[in-house]
Amino acid sequence: MPNDVENPSDIVNADELARPSSSRRDPELLREAITAWLATKVDGDAWVTDVQIPSANGMSSETILIDADWAGRSHHLVARIAPQPDSDPVFPHYDLDRQFRVIAHVAAATDVPVPALYWSEPEPGFLGAPFFVMGRVEGEIPPDVMPYTFGSWVGDASDEQRALLQTETIRVLAQIHQCPVPGGLDMPHGDETPLQAHIRRLREFYEWTIKGRNGSPLIDHGLTWVADNLPEESDAVLTWGDARIGNVIYTDFQPSAVLDWEMAAYGPRELDIAWLIFLHRFFQDLAESAGMPGLPGLLRREDVAEEYAKISGHHPQDLDFYTTYAALIHAVVMFRIQCRAIDFGQAHAPFDPDDMILHRATLEAMLAGTYWENVK
């Protein structure tokens, strides 16, 4: 632990509850702590000149922007920090060192654009939680708040520019799936297939989420549905896990950095393809429900499947199943996030637990097999 920070928890303002989109960390104490840590990593003098905490931090690990000087140069960095144990984290476990190693593996084995990696710090003594540091990449990210379908640089682009963004994002996805599978991923147990193992882990996450509270009948139905409708699986690959355009930094509508690998897994490539399709549909449905046109021509299911097949040679199969499963995964995550909001006093528990799922109607229609017939 650095000498000038006696208690890592001092970096956090103890009188402020953590919230899904805000940090409790004090930038000045962070600057001092990271300066002390940096001195253990580089030769000669090193200091942090500025620390910024984005106003809309992630729902999961925290993102910290750092400017630091050493070896006669300025370095613009990003740190990803695991959440504080007392902040009611979204997920039960955070292995940032594994995420760091997955990114390093992808960088070494493929041409997938990822940020330059500096260090992984698995010990919590410096900042109160494990973290890793990577280089900052300039560019544009499709926003989540408000969603890019509500008006953004993506919507302001020409049809040709959005087509380029779509094609090059799918190309990156195909490159990820060609990457040799790294060690350290969760693998199937016994006779499980990779998809069955993926579903088991989702069920375990859901059971952890509902411990001590009412569950969601819709999610329970969805878990039964996926178990009863398992497709024949394609070969398992490294999957990105959170494959969506909001996790990509773009320069001139082409990916310059692929971000957020904490959900990386071993499974059929359709997991990523369907996630890419569904997450856009999620934002598109939100826009349409608000009376806005959104971006109906972007990431259409048939277009994504055709483009992926053209680039990779693999024709995606059973996308009805996989997009429904993507909607179910997202439902469990949304349910967990809403549980946090209730715990923090930001929301009231509804009479019907299914109302905690923002895309309830979408998931119900997908499970009934009626969703896609109403998509224009």
User: Which residues does the annotation mark as catalytic?
Assistant: 242
**Tokens standing for residue 182:** 């790294």
Q: How far apart are CA 234 and CA 240, in angstroms?
A: 16
The answer to whether 354 touches 217, Cβ cutoff 8 Å, is: yes
**Tokens standing for residue 216:** 């969601």
Q: Which residues pair with 66 in a beta bridge?
A: 51, 77
DSSP assignment, residue 40?
A: T
Closest CA to 335 of 218, 252, 230, 232: 218
Q: How much of the chain is helix, strand and coil, in % rounded to 5?
A: 45, 15, 40
Cis peptide before 356 (omega within 30 of 0): no
Helix boundaries (H) for the chain? 27-38, 96-109, 153-156, 159-178, 194-209, 217-228, 270-289, 301-312, 319-343, 360-368
Q: Is residue 159 classed exposed, middle or buried when 0-12, 13-18 and 19+ CB atoms within 10 A define those classes?
A: exposed
The answer to whether 296 touches 284, Cβ cutoff 8 Å, is: yes
Q: How far apart are CA 232 and CA 325, in angstroms?
A: 14
Q: How far apart are CA 25 and CA 63, in angstroms?
A: 11
Closest CA to 206 of 91, 360, 95: 91
Is 120 in a helix, a strand, or coil? Answer: strand
Closest CA to 97 of 123, 122, 73, 115: 122
Provide φ and ψ at 76, rounded to 5°: -105, 115
The answer to whether 94 touches 83, Cβ cutoff 8 Å, is: yes
The answer to whether 198 touches 223, Cβ cutoff 8 Å, is: no
